[in-house]
Chains A and B, each alone.
Chain A
């Protein structure tokens, strides 16, 4: 039986130096969900993702991936990750698109083994999914921000993960491509059955697409289905977020007016 709880965080706290940035977070992601993780800038979203991926260790609490404590977990090919930093990489790096995508297979291939033709085929297939196959041999630095974003998604998809984590993937992608981007996510979630966790500060758009929403600001303020979330009025939001809600709404309107 495949476990149903893909991610299970319990009472997780973390501080950089002295400042607590994640406080007693409980978070469960179930198979098949498309979860939107929203919160203002600096609310600890990226930090929470790093905790999930074992890039940093929690000070308190436990993280389980696919029913295993993170320490024992070693099926990293099950998780695809597109970092917030993905669009700020060294764009002068001399790599072709397909070389970048193939790095997504490193954990699956394992040590002392080489890339072969089968891996190239897999990489091309992932590029086809994001409609970037024709750019396979292009230098990654020559692509637009939106195209690079797709390449990084292909890299995350190439190992056939059951969970895809995206940290603010629409930042730096121009508005007319954002719709196409959500269409791609829908395809992955519906047709391929990949669970999604997407970090964003654009509440308005994410509730249109995600099945579930988590609001956090250091700690989790809301976790439920998107429909429930939409029923909240501004006052509830204000209560949940304190002063930050204005900024969130502003971001939302900004996003809409661009499209």
Chain B
């Protein structure tokens, strides 16, 4: 394993990309979960698929273009989808969640048409759906490095604004926080991270990496910082172990990463149950 890791560049790319995603996806995931926006991650991952399909189609049909990296088109669509969701949420003030199925089904609908026009379903596409340890190019890896650095800087810089907005929007507004602007910045970051994550976990399972580690952390943490720390730790653990087992078992990493994240979640739930049990027993009656 270690030998092949040192030998093959694609494994190094996948490992580094995976480890970075293991940090930023759960980090943004914490804010997504506490703001009850989990479904937005799903909608954005599906519209990323549309972008990838569009990219594959262009590559196929437009002869002047021969090496188009689908991740960029995926990002463009994902960010566009994020902005569209915000617009729709404003349009349907009383039914904000309607924006999600509109974008989600729209994304898949258009995606399926584009895919069929391009080439039909092939292995390339399969790796975008469920992730791959062999498909991460070094230029993709560097894109993810840049996005990770940008996300970390922005989250650190706007940590208190993001936190107060998540906890109490009314209070944030009195404190002079420009909620609309911060929210837009946030949703664009989410869109970029989703498009970057898809290479490793795959489009269908990106949102799992944003929510499962957070769900586990919520069972245990007693502060927001702890929730973030534990979510990243759980996310990172799932990615690393998931990538290794994916390589060993020759199955897509999306599957192994999510299965491990679910096992972590089950452990966290059990841990909480056992701890409560002991605590109650330990109490003098």
| A contact residues vs B (CB 8 Å cutoff) | 53-55, 74, 76, 79, 81, 83, 85, 89-90, 92-96, 98-100, 102-103, 106-107, 109, 111-112, 114-115, 137-139, 142, 155
Say yes or no for B173: interface residue by CB 8 A criterion.
Answer: yes
| B contact residues vs A (CB 8 Å cutoff) | 34, 156-157, 159-161, 163-164, 166-168, 170-177, 217-218, 221-227
Contact partner, A94, options B156, B159, B218, Cβ 8 Å: B218
Given A96-B222, A114-B159, are A107 and B227 neighbors across the interface (CB < 8 Å)?
Answer: no
- Determine whether the beta carbon of B176 is less than 8 Å from that of A99: no
The smallest C-beta distance from B162 to any residue of chain A, in angstroms, reads 11
- Determine whether the beta carbon of B222 is less than 8 Å from that of A103: no
Contact partner, A115, options B160, B174, B218, Cβ 8 Å: B160
- Determine whether the beta carbon of A107 is less than 8 Å from that of B34: no
- Determine whether the beta carbon of A94 is less than 8 Å from that of B160: no
Given A76-B175, A76-B176, A114-B160, are A100 and B222 neighbors across the interface (CB < 8 Å)?
Answer: no
- Determine whether the beta carbon of A99 is less than 8 Å from that of B225: yes
- The distance in angstroms between the C-alpha atoms of A141 and B183, with both chains bound, is 25
Contact partner, A139, options B34, B175, B223, Cβ 8 Å: B223
- Determine whether the beta carbon of B34 is less than 8 Å from that of A93: yes
Nearest 5 pairs of A and B residues by beta carbon: A96-B223, A107-B175, A139-B222, A106-B175, A94-B227
The smallest C-beta distance from B159 to any residue of chain A, in angstroms, reads 7
- Determine whether the beta carbon of B160 is less than 8 Å from that of A106: yes
Contact partner, B164, options A79, A92, A103, Cβ 8 Å: A103
List of B residues within 8 angstroms of A93 by Cβ: 34, 166-167
Given A99-B223, A137-B223, A139-B223, are A89 and B173 neighbors across the interface (CB < 8 Å)?
Answer: no
- Determine whether the beta carbon of A95 is less than 8 Å from that of B175: no
The smallest C-beta distance from A109 to any residue of chain B, in angstroms, reads 7
Nearest opposing residue in chain A for B160, CB measure: A106
Given A99-B163, A103-B160, A114-B159, are A83 and B222 neighbors across the interface (CB < 8 Å)?
Answer: no
- Determine whether the beta carbon of B177 is less than 8 Å from that of A99: no
Given A107-B175, A109-B160, are A89 and B222 neighbors across the interface (CB < 8 Å)?
Answer: no
List of A residues within 8 angstroms of B157 by Cβ: 112
Nearest opposing residue in chain B for A109, CB measure: B160
- Determine whether the beta carbon of B174 is less than 8 Å from that of A107: yes
List of B residues within 8 angstroms of A100 by Cβ: 167
- Determine whether the beta carbon of A103 is less than 8 Å from that of B176: no
List of A residues within 8 angstroms of B163 by Cβ: 95, 99, 103
List of A residues within 8 angstroms of B173 by Cβ: 55
The smallest C-beta distance from A199 to any residue of chain B, in angstroms, reads 15
- Determine whether the beta carbon of A103 is less than 8 Å from that of B224: no
Contact partner, B172, options A79, A98, A106, A111, Cβ 8 Å: A106
The smallest C-beta distance from A142 to any residue of chain B, in angstroms, reads 8
List of A residues within 8 angstroms of B222 by Cβ: 94, 96, 137-139, 142
- Determine whether the beta carbon of A83 is less than 8 Å from that of B170: yes
List of A residues within 8 angstroms of B224 by Cβ: 94-96, 99
Contact partner, B161, options A85, A89, A106, A138, Cβ 8 Å: A106
Nearest opposing residue in chain B for A86, CB measure: B168
The smallest C-beta distance from B271 to any residue of chain A, in angstroms, reads 16
- The distance in angstroms between the C-alpha atoms of A100 and B225, with both chains bound, is 12
- The distance in angstroms between the C-alpha atoms of A107 and B113, with both chains bound, is 50
Nearest opposing residue in chain A for B30, CB measure: A94
The smallest C-beta distance from A128 to any residue of chain B, in angstroms, reads 19
Beyond A95-B163, A114-B160, 9 additional pairs, beta carbon < 8 A: A53-B174, A76-B176, A89-B167, A92-B218, A94-B222, A96-B223, A99-B224, A106-B172, A107-B174
The smallest C-beta distance from B258 to any residue of chain A, in angstroms, reads 22
Nearest opposing residue in chain A for B166, CB measure: A93
Contact partner, A81, options B34, B167, B171, B225, Cβ 8 Å: B171
| Sampled A-B contacts (26; CB under 8 Å) | A54-B174, A55-B170, A55-B173, A85-B170, A94-B218, A94-B221, A94-B226, A95-B167, A95-B223, A95-B224, A99-B163, A99-B223, A99-B224, A99-B225, A102-B160, A103-B163, A103-B167, A103-B175, A106-B160, A106-B175, A106-B177, A107-B174, A115-B160, A137-B223, A138-B222, A139-B221
